[in-house]
Amino acid sequence: MATWEDVVCKAKELADAAGRKVADVADLTKQKLKLAENERAIRDAMEALGHLYYDNCKGDPLNGELVNELVCQIDELKAANEELQATIDNACGCKTCSCGGTNPADAAFCNRCGNKLN
């Protein structure tokens, strides 16, 4: 699992790469592309940070009510999604792996990641 240091390191790498590339790019179209690329990278980093924060703060009594509330909301949403996925799998006659791969109902292993299916 990633640590805070990993996330901070990755963020620094992204910032350095962004700084270097902006200097070579004069064309507006290329800058717009780079902007979109950076926005994607920021979203990815934010998501990773969120996952890390969620994993580290879950069940910690020192965290504020808001964090606990968010953790509860995420857990509720995950549970609701598991039920929804099961309903969808049932309706389409397929099995969805935790990796997101969709498999035939009689599959024993995921055709995307190779994990054993329930």
Are 115 and 97 contacting, i.e. CB atoms less than 8 angstroms apart?
yes
Q: Which is nearer to Zn ion, 71 or 110 (CB)?
A: 110
User: Which token pair is 17?
Assistant: 């790469």
Which residues lie closer than 8 Å to 1 by C-beta, 6 or more apart? 52, 55
Q: Could you say which residues in the range 9-68 bind Zn ion, by CB under 5 A?
A: none
User: In the complex, what is the shortest distance from the CB of residue 97 to Zn ion, in angstroms, rounded to a whole number?
Assistant: 3
Q: Could you say which of 46, 77, 99, 105 contacts Zn ion (CB under 5 A)? A: 99
| Binding stretches for Zn ion (CB under 5 A) | 97, 99, 101, 110, 112-113, 115
